[in-house]
Every structure is written in C-alpha cells, then in structure tokens.
Amino acid sequence: MNRRDEIYSLCAKELSLILEVDQDSIIHSTNFADLGLDSAMAVHFILAVEDKLRIELDPDVLERHTNLDSFCAYLADRL
C-alpha cells in the first residue's frame, strides 16, 4: 500500500467513526457536508487526522478541501 492509499484509508476510517457509517459507504468525491459532517464533527475529524499523522492543519482546511479526495490529496502533498 502506498502512502496516498494509507492516508485515504486512515481518513476514511476516522470519518466513518465520526459519522457512524460503514467506511465502504463513503464516496470520496462527495462533499463532507453532503455526507452529514457538521462543524463540530469537522473539528473532531481534523483533530483525529492531526493526531494520527502528527501534522498541524488549519482549522478551515475542510472549507478549501471539501471532499475526501481533495483533502487526502492535500495531505499527501504536505507529507
């Protein structure tokens, strides 16, 4: 598994835990808001990703990267 796939897997897992849905049901191109992620959940998601990847993210990162594809591509570029 390459680094980008590891990031996708980690983020999808964290997102599925927060949304309380099966990880396989998350379509990576769907906007976070359309998945049901509210602002409180978004903060929790960002903090979980920061902790797992040992990276610091801007609080508004999900406003610029509005779906899992974009967010994970951004993370892969940062790491």
Question: Model confidence over 3-16: pLDDT tens digits?
Answer: 888 999 999 999 99
Place of tokens 């409180």: 40
* Closest CA relative to residue 5, chosen from 75, 58, 63: 75
Identify the domain containing residue 28 by its residue range: 3-78
- The two tokens of residue 41 are 């959940």
pLDDT tens-digit profile of 46-71?
999 999 999 999 999 999 999 999 99
| Count of structural domains within the chain | 1
The pTM (predicted TM-score) of the whole model is: 0.91
**What is d(CA 6, CA 36) in angstroms, rounded to the nearest whole number?**
23
* CATH code at position 68: 1.10.1200.10
The helix/strand/coil state of 59 is coil
Q: Check whether 2 has a pLDDT greater than 90.
A: no
How buried is residue 32: exposed, middle or buried, by Cβ count under 10 Å (0-12/13-18/19+)?
buried
Instruction: For 12-38, write each residue's pLDDT tens digit.
Output: 999 999 999 999 999 999 999 999 999
Is residue 1's pLDDT more than 80? no
